[in-house]
Amino acid sequence: MEIHLPQLFQRCVKPETKPKKEVTKQSSFNRLAMLELSYPSTMLTEDLSTSLAGSNLHVFTLGELKVITQSFSSSNFLGEGGFGPVHKGFIDDKLRPGLKAQPVAVKLLDLEGLQGHREWLTEVIFLAELRHPHLVKLIGYCCEEEHRLLVYEYMPRGSLENQLFRRYSVSLPWATRMKIALGAAKGLAYLHEAEKPVIYRDFKASNILLDSGLQCQTSDFGLAKDGPEGDDTHVSTRVMGTQGYAAPEYIMTGHLTAMSDVYSFGVVLLEL
């Protein structure tokens, strides 16, 4: 029986599942634009903190993040992507009131890398609002002079890409692969069906992280965009994403829709 990808994507998500998201007066895009006006002013940190009030994100100092990562020691290095290097750290329960002791992943923006301040800011704003079991949990951030860092919940099994294609990785059972596909689909559906829809725009195996039980969480929201609303059918935008995962119609026209994410989901499904 032939099943088209959009149908399969929909079947991965229970029909009665409805996203629960706090409604804000401004879209994430508008908040992003307003905050960008503060950069590189010293007012950015204050404006950002005010904008994210009530989000439960912690604001860390660069000194604190150096301590928890042992000055970004090579022994704590986890990997590097378009944003910059990622190091493992450990937060004890004395660092912040209400913040439990836990391992974390600290991502440092490479000022000479492929992404920049805008992508860092985008990730902070979106993940401050978005909460779902299959989206990575942002614990806090650091914005100090030119330094931009993000602190996430640590995912001990690394990325799906490593699990699938690393030379000495153990093959994932079929049931586990389908569990990962289901979780990834639920995460994307939450974004697409939210009160203010979000298009992820960079869905790929390296951005799907796995915990110790191989539950998946989608990470790296630096390229995410507010989706079309009302009578709009698409968002016109500069083409961004990863070759091989980006939908052909998006590459040709610059018209971004939720179906662009569904195409990328299909590529990951094929890899699985």
220 among known catalytic residues:
no
H helix or E strand, kind and range, residue 189: helix 174-192
- Which of 177, 138, 173 has its CA nearest to residue 160? 177
Report strand pairing: 225-226 vs 255-256. Answer: unpaired
CA atoms of 140 and 96, how far apart (whole Å): 11
CA atoms of 23 and 238, how far apart (whole Å): 27
CA atoms of 40 and 83, how far apart (whole Å): 19
Q: Which of 202, 220, 226, 261 is catalytic?
A: 202
The two tokens of residue 137 are: 């949990």
The two tokens of residue 115 are: 């992404």
Phi-psi region of 29 (alpha: psi -120 to 50; beta: other; left: phi over 0): alpha
- For every residue of 78-120, DSSP letters joined together read EEE-SS-EEEEEEE-TTSSTTPPPEEEEEEE--TTSS--HHHH
- Which of 185, 183, 186, 180 has its CA nearest to residue 163? 180
CA atoms of 44 and 23, how far apart (whole Å): 24
Report strand pairing: 198-199 vs 208-210. Answer: unpaired
CA atoms of 127 and 135, how far apart (whole Å): 9
Catalytic residues: 202
